[in-house]
Amino acid sequence: MTLRKAGLAAAAALVLSLTATACGGGSSDSGSNGDKINIGIKFDQPGLGLKTQDGEYVGFDVDVAKYVAKELGYDEKDIVWKQAPSAERENMIANGDVKFIVATYTINDERKERVDFAGPYFLAHQDLLVRADDNTVRSEDDLDKSEMKLCSVTGSTSAQNVKKDFAPKANLMQYGGYSECLTGLENKAVDALTTDDSILAGYAAQKEHQGKFKLAGLNLSDEPYGIGLKKGDTKLQKQINDALKKMVEDGSWEKAAKKHFGPADYDYEPAPEITETS
């Protein structure tokens, strides 16, 4: 009887061991935690990636991330959102803190030395946000002649680039955050705020800002947004690209763009052609 009990115990232990191995197989994947998936987004960009006071996550990037996650087999409840500051995105991917990042992440050669991208899924351009009744700047030529007070967030390169390449006479003013720039713009302390037009449109579309501001409509640069992922993960890259294609084909991309950018009268580009393939 003792031997029989010992044999049953050993068999049970073997079954438990095999079961644990099978269940834990996905936990070793970067950015995965069992049945959960870690996705990086911005928490402070209205219209793109925003964590609300109620703890909800909303925006175009959030909708793209949810769609991709669904195509990878994850329900919305399985997503663990991770804040992805611009300066930390490559580290978060390389360290396996996230499976992928959807956070106004412009594809460029310098970043591609450390991470791979899927997409692009959106094409933004650097632009200016001005007051709704301001018609001073209608073209790059107007900008070149302007001595406007140009607002930038401290540490941002957007305004520096505009001042260097397009508006050398501008008076560059640096504030701590976009909300301060918007307050300055509303109070006429500054004449314009500059960054990607998608980000500007998100702020202009906020309920408290609707009707106060408008985009100048200057395409000062091309900013193709990609989904960042671990370098060399060609399987995930293809899966994400397939999901992005499906999102465009079934109308979900256009629906999300209208929902988040429409209130700002933002004339966004159509979904771009996917170029990041291995």
**pTM of the entire predicted model:** 0.79
**Residue 69 maps to a domain:** yes
Domain coverage including residue 230: 30-124+224-264
Residues 211 and 100 in one domain: no
Domain finish residue from 184, 215, 246: 215
Residues 49 and 101 in one domain: yes
Check residue 156 and give its pLDDT: 67
Q: State the pLDDT confidence band at 187, using cuts at 50, 70 and 90.
A: very high
Residues 238 and 168 in one domain: no
Least confident of 39-48, 143-152, 186-195: 143-152
**Residues 75-131 pLDDT 10s:** 999 999 999 988 899 999 999 999 999 999 999 998 999 999 999 999 999 899 999
**Residue 10 maps to a domain:** no
Judged against a pLDDT cut of 70, whether residue 27 lies above it is answered with no
Sequential DSSP letters for 115-127: EEEEEEEEEEEEE
Residues 99 and 139 in one domain: no
Distance CA 18, CA 55 (A): 38
Check residue 13 and give its pLDDT: 45
Residues 198 and 144 in one domain: yes
- List beta partners, residue 21: none
> For residue 156, what is the domain's CATH number?
3.40.190.10
Check residue 109 and give its pLDDT: 92
**Residue 72 maps to a domain:** yes
Residues 179 and 258 in one domain: no
Distance CA 227, CA 16 (A): 38
Q: Give me the number of domains the chain comprises.
A: 2
